[in-house]
Structure 1
Amino acid sequence: MPFALYMLGLAVFAQGTSEFMLSGLGPDIAADLDVSLSAAGALTSAFAVGMVIGAPVMALIGRRWPRRTALLGFLLTFLLVHAVGALTGSFAVLLVTRVVGALANAGFLAVALVAAVGMVGPDAKGRATSVLLGGVTLACVAGVPGGALLGQFWGWRSAFWAVALVSVPAVLAILRSVPGGASAPAGAGVRGELRSLREPRLVVTLLLGALVNGATFCTFTYLSPVITEVTGFPGNWVPALLALFGAGSFIGVTVAGRFADARPVPFLVAGAVALLAGWVLFALTAGNPVAAVVLVLVQGALSFGVGSALIAQALYAATGAPTLSGGFATAALNVGAAVGPAAGGLALAAGLGHRSPPWVSALLVALALAVGAVALRKRQSPSGNATLCNSPQVNSATQRRG
C-alpha cells in the first residue's frame, strides 16, 4: 500500500477521534461554557447532521478541484475549526465549528475514498478502503479514550488541540505524496454520475452499508449502560471495553481488506450471518461478564469487517460515478450512524430494558440479510439487474458463466 494512503488514514483517525470524543467531554464543556448537558449533547448531533448532508454536497464541490487541493482544503479547514473551538468561550461559536468541521470531514472522507482506490490496482479497493476505515477504528481504540484522558488532566480544550496537532503530519504528507491530478476524469459529468448512482446494485449496497452501520452504532452508543446495568461492570470499566470494541473493529477491517476483494459474496454472507448471531447472543448473555467481554471484541470485528467490505463493494459498483461515489458511501455510513442510535434510544424510552440495543442491532442486521437475499435472487434471475457485489473477480466469473 502507498505511504500516502496511510497518511490519509492518519487524517481519518484525527477526524474519527473528533467525531466520537465528545461522548467523554460533554459534562466538562457544559460546565465551562455554562450550558445544560443536553445542549452540550447537541454538539454531537450537529456533527452527525453535518456529516450526512456534507458528504454528497462536499463531493460535488470537491470534484471541481484537483484531488490534492480538495484534500488539503478540507483537512486545513478541519484543523483550523478545531483551533477556533479550542480557543472560543462561546457555545454558539463552538456549535458552528462542529458543523463546519463535520462538513470538512465529510468532504475529506468522500475525496479520500476515491483517491485511495485510485492509488491501488483495480482489484485492491477493499484493502485500500480498509486502511482508511482503520483510522476510524483506531480512533475508537486510542483516540476517544485518549481524548477523555486529556480532558480529565488538562481540560476539554486540550483534546481539540490534540486533534488539530495530529492532523498536521497528514497535511504535510498530502502536499508531498498525493498526486495533483484532477478529481473528475475527462468526460465525467455531474448528471452522468448522478444517473449512475441510481443503479440498483449500488443503491442496494449502500442500503446494506447503512443498515449494518446502524446496527453497529446502536449498541456502541449504548454500550455503557448495557455493561454497567446488565453485565454489572463498574463504570471505570467502560473506557476499556469501548477500546476493546475498537480493537475488534481494527481486526475486522484488516481481515476484510485481505479477503473481501477476492470472494466478496461468501465473505459478506458468512460475516452477516455471524454478525446477526452475535448480536442475538450478546442480548441473551449480556449478564455474563465473560461472554460480554468476548462478544464486545467479536462484534466489533464482525461489524467493521462486514461494513468496510460493503463500502468497498459500493466503490466497485460505482464505476460510472468516479468522483461522487465516495460522498454517497460516506453519507450511507452516517445515515446508519444516526438511525441506529435513534432506534436504540426509542427502544430504551419504550421501557424495553437495557438489553434492547443489541436486539435492535440484531433486527437491523436481519433486515440487511433479507434485503441482500432479495438482491442476490434478482441477480441470479435472467432479467435481474440488481447485484450485491461487483468486484473484478465477480464480473469475470459472471462472464465465464455467460
Structure 2
Amino acid sequence: MPLPLYLLAMAVFAMGTSEFMLAGLLPDIASDLDVTVGAAGMLTPAFAIGMIVGAPLMAALARNWPGRASLLVFVLVFSAAHAVGAATSNFPVLFITRVVSAVANAGFLAVALTTAATLVPAGNKGRALAVLLSGTTVATIAGVPGGSILGALLGWRATFWAIAALCLPTAIGILTGIPAGRVQQDAVYKPALRSELTQLANPRLILVMLLGALVNAATFASFTFLAPVVTDTAGLGELWISVTLVLFGVGSFIGVTIAGRLSDQRPGPVIAVGGPLLLLGWPTLAVLADRPVFLLTLVFVLGVLSFALGSTLITRVFYEAAGSPTMAGSYATAALNIGAVVGPLIAAATLSTKAGGIGPLWASGLLVAIAVLVAFSFRGAIVEGRSSEVLR
C-alpha cells in the first residue's frame, strides 16, 4: 500500500480518538465549565450529527478543490477547533467547536475515503479502505485509553491540546507526501454534482448503505455502554473497562484487516458467515455478560466480526457508487455515522426496561437481526443486478 494511505490513517487515528474520548472526560468537563453531566453529554451527539451533515456537504463543496488542499484544510480546521476548545471556559463555545471539528472530520473522511480508493488499482479498494479505517480501530486500542489517562493526570484540556498537536505532523505529511495530481481525477472523470447525487436512487447503493448503518448501529449500541456492563454486570473493577475496550479495539483491528483481504474479491463469504455469527454473538454476550471470562472473550470476537462485516459493507458502497467518484466517500461516511447516532439512542432506551444494563447488548442483536433479514429478503434483487458484487 502507498505511503500516503498511512499518512491519512494517522489523521483518522487523531479524529477517531477525538470522537470517542469524551466518554472518560465528561465529568471533568461538566465540573470545570459548571454544567451538568447531562448537558456535557450533548457534546457526543453534537459531534455525530455534525459528521452526518458535514460529510455530504463538505464533499460537495470540496469536489472542485485539489484533493491535497481539501485534506490539508480539513485537518487544520480540525486542529484549530480543538485548540479553541482546549482554551475556552465557555460551554457554548466548546459545543460549537465540537460541531466544527465534526464537520471538518466528516469532510476529511469523505475526501480521504475517496482518495484511498483512487490511490490503488480498482481491485484493491477494500485493502486501501482497511488501511484508512485502521486509524479508527487503533484509536480505540491506544488513543482513547491514552486520552483518558492524560485527562486524569493533567485535566481534560490536555487531551484536547494533544489532539490539536497530533494533527500538525499529519498536515505536514499530507502536504509533502500526497501528490496533488494523483489524489483527484479531474482530467479523467468527474460528472456533474447532480449526476452524482442521482446515484442515491440506485437501490443496491441504498441497500448496502442501510446494511452498513445497521451493523454500525449495533456496534455502537453496545460499545457506548460497555463500561457499566463491565463494572455492574460482570462485577469487575474500573481498570477492566480499559482492558475491555482495548480487547474490542484489537478485535476491530483484526476485523478491518480481514475485510481488507476479502472485501474486494470475496465479500460474499464475509457477509454470509459474519452476519449470522454476529446475530448469534450479541445475544450470547447478553446472556453470559456476568461471567468475566466469557465477557472478555466475546467482546474480542464481536470486535472482529463487527468490523469485518461493517468494513466489507462500506467497501461495497464504493463499488455501487462508482458513478459518484467525488461523493462516494460522503455516502460511506454518512452511513457509518447514522449508525453511530441511532445505535446508542436505541440502546439508551433499553436501559429503563427490565433488561437493564445488558439492554444495549440485546439491542445490538436486534439491529443485526434486522440487517440479516433485510439482506436475505433483497438477496435476489441484488444478485439480478450484474454490476453488483455485494453478495458474490
**If the length of structure 2 is used for normalisation, what is the TM-score?**
0.96
CA distance in 2, matches of 1:355, 1:345: 11
Give the gaps of 5 or more residues in structure 1.
395-402
Cα drift, residue 9 of structure 1: 0.3
Q: Which residue of 2 aligns with 1:213?
A: 216
Superposed CA deviations along residues 285-338 of structure 1, whole A, max 9, x for unmatched, are 111111101001010111111111111111111110001110011011000011
Overall identity of the aligned pairs, in %: 51
RMSD over aligned Cα atoms: 1.5
Q: Does 1:273 align with 2:276?
A: yes
Q: 2:228 aligns with which of 225, 228, 231?
A: 225
Paired residues for 1:3-402 under 5 Å = 3-181=3-181, 182=184, 184=186, 186-381=189-384, 387=388, 389=390
Shift of 1:51: 0.6
Q: Distance in 1 between matches of 2:76 and 2:358?
A: 42
The alignment of Structure 1 onto Structure 2 pairs a total of residues equal to 389
Distance in 2 separating the partners of 1:238 and 1:366: 27
Q: Give the residue type in structure 2 aligned to 1:175.
A: L
The residue identity in structure 2 corresponding to 1:152 is A
CA distance in 2, matches of 1:46, 1:380: 38
Q: Counterparts of 1:206 and 1:229 in 2: how far apart (Å)?
A: 35
Any stretches of 5+ residues in structure 2 without a counterpart?
none
Aligned-pair CA distance for 1:220: 0.4
Question: What is the rounded CA distance, in whole Å, between the counterparts of 2:55 and 2:264 in structure 1?
Answer: 25
**Aligned residues of 1:21 and 1:144 also touching (Cα < 8 A):** yes
Partner of 2:378, secondary structure, is helix
Deviations 1:250-272 (A, max 9, x none): 11101110122221111111111
Higher alpha-carbon deviation: 3-12 or 266-275: 266-275
Q: Distance in 2 between matches of 1:187 and 1:139?
A: 33
Letter in 1 for 2:238: G
With over 3 angstroms needed to count, the CA separation of the structure-2 counterparts of 1:222 and 1:35, relative to structure 1, is: same
Shift of 1:387: 4.7
- Given residue 390 of structure 2, which amino acid in structure 1 is its aligned partner? C
Q: Which stretch of structure 1 is more off in the superposition, 180-189 or 366-375?
A: 180-189
Counterparts of 2:190 and 2:330 in 1: how far apart (Å)?
Answer: 19
SS at match of 1:354: helix
Equivalent residue, structure 2, for 1:397? none
Change (3 A) 1:380 1:188: closer
Say which is worse superposed, 349-358 or 334-343, in terms of deviation: 349-358
Contact preservation (8 Å) 1:218, 1:343: yes
Contact 1:2 1:119 in 2 (8 A): yes
Instruction: Give the direction of change, closer, same or farther, for the CA distance of 1:351–1:284 in structure 2 (3 Å limit).
Output: closer
What is the Cα deviation at residue 197 of structure 1? 2.3
TM-score norm. by structure 1 comes to 0.94
